Structure 1
């Protein structure tokens, strides 16, 4: 079998893996959107739907990781190809955890529907934070699909905006609890929702860092922003 034929097969395998990663990304993004919809519309049915998808997401992670291990063992890739496979494994791990956060939000919604929630609580603000986080996730996946380090850098920069929204929501919820002790139970549940959404943004950032690792060969995890910018340039 010619080297060219082997290379074509390998490229097809990589393309297939990338397609499945993006499919998984679309699924978990939809889970987050649905979980927040369940919160804003108090929809038990939508919350159930999010939770039912959790098993599918977990199985996708297992299947893709198994195939990645097989490709590494059979092809013994080097340089950028090896970086791509390692980063893809880490990316699907982050996507699986996004699915976990969506399911956590959905379970919290179910609890709130049982215990009740004050209309004064900032649910609309939670929805805005979720929009920021899901947009960041979508852009990170697009950067992965295109292997676009510049776009990945923009995702990393946007994480500060999500963190700032999280801090603002936390201050609001603390204020509500101090002003009206009757909101304490529901406010604490919303704290978990807000934190889960903030983690979705963190996972988007992690995926963006993996894109930079693939393209530039630089591990920018835990690095200050100026170091990340230097790596991308």
Structure 2
């Protein structure tokens, strides 16, 4: 690739990367609003999350179309191709994280309609939600800098979200046993907790693709010890 074409490719890559970060910011906002809707049982905030989902979906489609065009015209190889693949995978994970935020919002609407919201321990989901939101933000920052050390840290931190989820499930089971009348609404809250846990998984997925770009190794479905050896 001559210098002129290389400069054009860099410009196109910069443009699509900016779009991904914009999409990430929108999804982060969606998650924050969903968590607020859950903590306050706010119908208005929940509906706002549902409305944002349309924009997130359209951004994924637009970015994928742009990536396909770049690949077809530039025919990148090696690390450049891995980066474009990672960007595509990142947008898919962001869209799915947005789906989870929307799922939380719809569960909030269901809980409010049940009339049981004031008796549920929704505030105990705050720690898990804060961890997941912070992890997604960190994953996007690491992608922008292609920082494999931060990517590795993200993969380890995802375990903390899993532990919060497991602890909340145990509390919720006890809660339902003490008051069977809340079982239906409690199950909605359980789905919210699972959605938050999945947001953490999507952040972890993005971290895996960062390592793929920089190291050329696919570390999905491997042990953390193997990932550490790749990063070193």
TM-score by length of 2: 0.98
- Corresponding residue for residue 18 of structure 2: 19
Unpaired segments ≥5 residues, structure 1: none
- Corresponding residue for residue 61 of structure 2: 62
CA contact (8 A) 2:154 2:203 kept: yes
- Corresponding residue for residue 86 of structure 2: 87
- 2: distance between equivalents of 1:203 and 1:42? 25
- 2: distance between equivalents of 1:105 and 1:95? 15
Deviation of 1:24 after TM superposition, in Å, equals 0.5
Deviation of 1:42 after TM superposition, in Å, equals 1.6
CA contact (8 A) 2:23 2:94 kept: yes
CA contact (8 A) 1:118 1:183 kept: no
1:102 to 2:109 alignment: no
CA contact (8 A) 2:143 2:207 kept: yes
Deviation of 1:179 after TM superposition, in Å, equals 1.1
1:208 to 2:199 alignment: no
Deviation of 1:3 after TM superposition, in Å, equals 1.4
Unpaired segments ≥5 residues, structure 2: none
CA contact (8 A) 2:111 2:117 kept: no
- 2: distance between equivalents of 1:122 and 1:168? 13
- 2: distance between equivalents of 1:7 and 1:85? 15
Matched residues, number: 232
- Corresponding residue for residue 218 of structure 1: 217
TM-score by length of 1: 0.97
Deviation of 1:120 after TM superposition, in Å, equals 4.5
Instruction: Show CA shifts across 1:147-180 (max 9, x none).
Output: 1000011110001000000000000111111111
Deviation of 1:118 after TM superposition, in Å, equals 5.1
- 1: distance between equivalents of 2:78 and 2:67? 16
- Corresponding residue for residue 38 of structure 2: 39
| RMSD value, Cα | 1.0
- 1: distance between equivalents of 2:174 and 2:30? 30
